[in-house]
Every structure is written in C-alpha cells, then in structure tokens.
Structure 1
C-alpha cells in the first residue's frame, strides 16, 4: 500500500565492535533526536541483543548510533555494532550485535555521537542477566533470514496477477510514496451501510494457519483479549510519538491516523474510521481513522501470516480501503507484502519490490462477515489464502528482508462508489508461524 514515500538514506559504515561510549559526559543535544522504541531480547548461546527505533526532527548524519549499557558499578558493557547513519523524520531501526553479560542488573539507553561528542537519550531501561527471568523489555521476534525448509507447495496453478496501477497498500516503509492500485470502476453509490459498532461474534480459528499445509510453530500472536492495545507489540499510528496524530501512509489516502481511533474490547481490535477533517503538518484530511504497526517490536522473514478480520461493507462490496500487510525498513528494496487490500469493493493481494507490484483480486465476496486472510511467504514465492483457500501466488520480485506487521482502516476519497463513514475494521486475531 505504500508506494514511494521518501526514503531514509542509511549510511551503514560499521564502526569497531564493542565500542565503549561515554554519553554520560555528553553535551546537550540540539538535533531533537527521539527514541520511538527500545528493547532487549535473547539471542543464541545465552547472549542478548538490543533493538531501537529512532527519528530526528531534522536530517542529521551521526558518527555512531548504539545502545549503551551500564552496570550497577557504572562500568561500560555496550552492545557491539555501533553504526554511522543518517537520522531523519522517519524512524531508523538499529539492531545491535549480541553479547553475553555477567550476572547482574544493567541500565541501557540509546546514544549517538555527533561532531565528536556523545549524546545520551531517554528513556533509560534496565534488564537482569544471569537469572531464569527474561529481560524486562519485550523480546522482538525477528525471524531468521535463512531460507526455511519449504512446505509442500500448493498444487493449484500459480495465478498470474495483472500488475495494477500500483495500489500500493499502505506500505509502511521508510522509503517511497505509496502508489495507489487501480481499482475496478466503481458502481453507483448505494446507501452506505455503516458497520460502526458492529462486532459479530464467532469462535476464533485454531492454533494452526487455515488452509496452509506444513509443520508450523507460532512465533507471534495477539488475540486482543485485553482492554487496551498491547504496547509491547504495536504502535497505534504511523511513525511518530505514541500519542500523535499522523498523516496517511499513501498519498492517495484521505484519512489521518490517530490513537483515539484504536481500541481493544470484547476480544477484538477495532480500527474506527470517521468523517472528521484533521490537519497534520499543514494539510487537512477529510477523515480520521485507526491503524497499528509492529515496527521495532516484531518483524519476520518468511512464514505464515494470518488475521481474522471483519471489514466494513456496502451491500456485497468491501467498503473503503481496509488492509493487512507487511513492510520492510527500506521500501521498495525490502519488499511489501499486501495480504489484504480492499480495492474498489474487492479483496486484493500484491507484492511490491524493485521488480514491480504484481497482484490480483480474489473472486467471490469477502465482506459482510468474518473472513480469514493469510499468506505463506517462502524463498522466491508468496501464496495467498482467503478463508483457507488459495486465491493467488506470486513468484517474481520476492524479497528476503525482515518485515513488520500493519493493519489499517484506510479510505480513498476518489472511490466514491465504495466509501462509507463511519465504518469500523474489526480484527479478531493476528498470528505468525514459522517452520
């Protein structure tokens, strides 16, 4: 859904491993660099690694970006892999190398070096090493980029999707401006049937992906059984502060995204679209809606991805632009996998990369009730499943970089025949499996 949103240039000149920073003596930073997320997770061999997402109010090239660590005795135990990079208004994700820590409790924080001086950023978090308990931060399940053992490939013929005019699903990426996929000619506008407030209940599906053969282990799941969004797994908007209203992902969208439009109750995630003119960065959008993304919290390479969703509808057509998709850090180089996009009333799928954006739309009706949308991403191919049935397969331009999860209730004002507001997109669960 993304399509060419201006990219972040990452100058990845690696510095010496295990650099001991001295941000404790840092000068006051004037670049307004902000930490969006910071976590520590387990690595093989009893090691730990750190992941951070950072952005800046203006473009700035830093000599080094790292996650610094201090023991209770204030000794340096920084994560290896300090990197020179360029920070900008879109988040940059930093992943450290791994290391073993002596038993004890440690503080850790993001630090960067600019013009020879180290700057220490908030927040300062802590973890404990050498005990059975896991680190305080939530682990970021970054799946390995190695080629998984392929499962039995579907025998149905690979669909030959006709590339659409780049209906790039809200491809969240740090590069490029989402292109809008050409959708079918809209039919006359029926009286919009608002789905706001409608949350049909039905038991969730099983613990294995629906219709996707093979042996799987679950590596991510959110059943939305709480009373609020799980902040260890999701951000409630596009890129920005946790409480900010952010602009659309794709230039064809007509809604800004606000945490106020995201809620969790009765075992479901609800993304609410309303008609409310909202101004972000000097531009006014006619609608306000909800979205979540797992950037900096959970990302994966290959696997089975699935969500059970109740989409808004007008008659037998899917209303608006509801989407379930994944995106990499550098778009389109890292790829974008659109598992579901409601386009012109139909349920569609695509895969965007530097090779293009092939895809197609599934026959039948996927509105007016709960439906399961899934995809199996393997080396060299992505196979799409709706309600457990294969609806398409793409074998060109498939990338292998890690991608994070996105769900958003978008709208394209130009698709007047299939738009409705208020309208909710409701999600029963999101799950990811790997071999």
Structure 2
C-alpha cells in the first residue's frame, strides 16, 4: 500500500509539472525562459494567471509588517497596501495612487517572497512593463533571508519614471571600510511602451545582468558576491529617489505590470 502511494505521488507530481509547462507554453509570447547554457532546472515561477495573488509564494509587505509598511531611509513617501497588489488577466499589477493613509499621501503595491522562497545562486528573470511618470520607482531585487541584515543586495533592475529609457543594475556589498556598491546605468528603449525581460545570473564568481536576453553588465569580484540565500522583492515605490524628482500632479494612478517571475538553478546544486 505504501509503495503504491509513493508511486501515485510521483505520478501526480510529474503530471502537475507537465500541466504547468503546457499552460505556460500556451500563453501568447510567454515561452518558458531558459538561462544561458545547460544544466539548469526551474525552482520557482509565478505566471500570475489566477484571479488573486498566490499567498503561498508572496507577501504584500516586508517581513516586519502585515497590514502596511514602507522602507525607511530610501526617501519613499508611499504606504504599501495589499489592495494595490492586483492579479488580473495574467499580469501582476502593482499600483501607485494618490491616497492618504497612515500619514502618507500615497499608497502602492509590493510583493516579497521572504520566508516563502529564497535561493542561493541561480538565474532569475522577470518580464514587465514599467510605469511612466515623475516620482515612480519600480524595482526588482534580492535581499538576505536572514533578518536585519544589509547588505548584500542584488538589484536586478531599478527604474525611475521620469527617465523611461533608463535602467540601473547594481550590487551592494560590505567592505572592510563599510558598505559599497557597483552599479551600471543602461540607456535603451522606452521601457514604459512595452514589455521587456530583466534577468540576472548569480554565480559564486560572477554576476551577469541581461535585458531582453542581451548581457548589459558583468561583475566578477568573487569576494563581494553574496554567498547566502536571498529572497525576491518587486515593488513600486513613490518618492524622489536619488535623482530628486518628486511626484507631480499628473502621475497617478500608475501601474507596474509584471507578466512573470521565474528562477532557475543549476542541477548540480551550485
């Protein structure tokens, strides 16, 4: 009986994976992404095909809060709210709007996989369309599963709404003298006009950033590369960020549209 149950469970798991692969491949323009080279397996993905957010994979605040939150120290002026996280028509819609709440004049949406999924080394990719407008600051990034630890931080993508053709890719790390970072600004197409892919290959000895499948940045100082599990954050902040471009009256509401988020890791476990 036990043997039969085990066989049934294995068959059910295989059948479920086949169904997932077929459903993903059947989406228009949404074939399963693969990192460069061979020897990878998908360990996490969300295609956002349901009518509600999958709370087995995502939180809608940082780990220290549940009903509302913000990240202090980043010049953010929004209050993150669950109702600004919307799953509709196969897209995750993170909304920013002008709304007074908890002493803030704006609310916005975010998702975080803390305590639900983290990984050490791999290839992570998002397909998304950016919002356009002064004061908007969408990002896609990784931070430690360990609490109250920063850096490290890996920014797969940061974007400022007043500059729709620019993307920032950055690693934050500790040094003997404190904290440092290595960032690159890449000027490309209007990222608010259509969907684009933003990816990062994280290895023990290098990190490589890709936009639309083309390498845009490489970092190879192994001593500064994170060697611990990191979790995923995608958020739409509101504020002046580091360019001192605050929101204007014409900006809101706006949406950060995410088609999918996927993670692959090497089958060897590295």
> Which TM bucket (shorter chain)?
0.7 to 0.9
Cα deviation for residue 232 of structure 1 reads: 0.6
Distance 1:241 1:410, change over 3 A: closer
Cα deviation for residue 241 of structure 1 reads: 5.2
Cα deviation per residue 1:166-197 (whole Å; 9 max; x = unaligned)? xxxxxxxxxxxxxxxxxxxxxxxxxxxxxxxx
Distance 1:250 1:266, change over 3 A: farther
Which residue in the other structure is 1:332 paired with?
150
Which residue in the other structure is 1:218 paired with?
42
Which residue in the other structure is 1:320 paired with?
136
Cα deviation per residue 1:37-85 (whole Å; 9 max; x = unaligned)? xxxxxxxxxxxxxxxxxxxxxxxxxxxxxxxxxxxxxxxxxxxxxxxxx
Question: Where do residues 227-306 of structure 1 align in structure 2 (5 Å cutoff)?
Answer: 227-240=51-64, 242=66, 244-248=67-71, 250-279=73-102, 284-306=103-125
Partner SS, residue 236 of structure 1 = coil
Question: Any conservation in 2 of the 1:248–1:255 contact (CA below 8 Å)?
Answer: no
Question: Where do residues 1-12 of structure 1 align in structure 2 (5 Å cutoff)?
Answer: none
Cα deviation per residue 1:80-110 (whole Å; 9 max; x = unaligned)? xxxxxxxxxxxxxxxxxxxxxxx9xxxxxxx
Question: Any conservation in 2 of the 1:359–1:394 contact (CA below 8 Å)?
Answer: no
Which residue in the other structure is 1:376 paired with?
201
Question: Any conservation in 1 of the 2:135–2:245 contact (CA below 8 Å)?
Answer: no
Partner SS, residue 83 of structure 2 = helix
For structure 1, the residue ranges without an aligned partner over 5 or more in a row are: 1-102, 104-128, 135-201
Question: Any conservation in 2 of the 1:204–1:428 contact (CA below 8 Å)?
Answer: no
Which protein is bigger by CA-based radius of gyration?
A: 1
Question: Any conservation in 2 of the 1:311–1:319 contact (CA below 8 Å)?
Answer: no
Aligned residues: 231
- TM-score normalized by structure 1? 0.49
Which residue in the other structure is 2:261 paired with?
430
Question: Any conservation in 1 of the 2:238–2:247 contact (CA below 8 Å)?
Answer: no
For structure 2, the residue ranges without an aligned partner over 5 or more in a row are: 11-26
Say whether 1:407 aligns with 2:223. no
Which residue in the other structure is 2:210 paired with?
385
- Mapped to 2, the partners of 1:276 and 1:377 lie a distance apart of 38
Cα deviation per residue 1:196-221 (whole Å; 9 max; x = unaligned)? xxxxxx834322336x3333211101
Say whether 1:206 aligns with 2:50. no
- Mapped to 2, the partners of 1:378 and 1:266 lie a distance apart of 34
- TM-score normalized by structure 2? 0.78
Distance 1:400 1:207, change over 3 A: same
Per mean C-alpha deviation after superposition, the further-off stretch among 256-265 and 364-373 is 364-373
Which residue in the other structure is 2:16 paired with?
none
Say whether 1:416 aligns with 2:242. no
Partner SS, residue 220 of structure 1 = strand
Cα RMSD for the two superposed structures: 2.6
Greater helix proportion: 2
Say whether 1:363 aligns with 2:180. no
Cα deviation for residue 291 of structure 1 reads: 0.2
- Mapped to 1, the partners of 2:64 and 2:149 lie a distance apart of 18
Which residue in the other structure is 1:354 paired with?
174
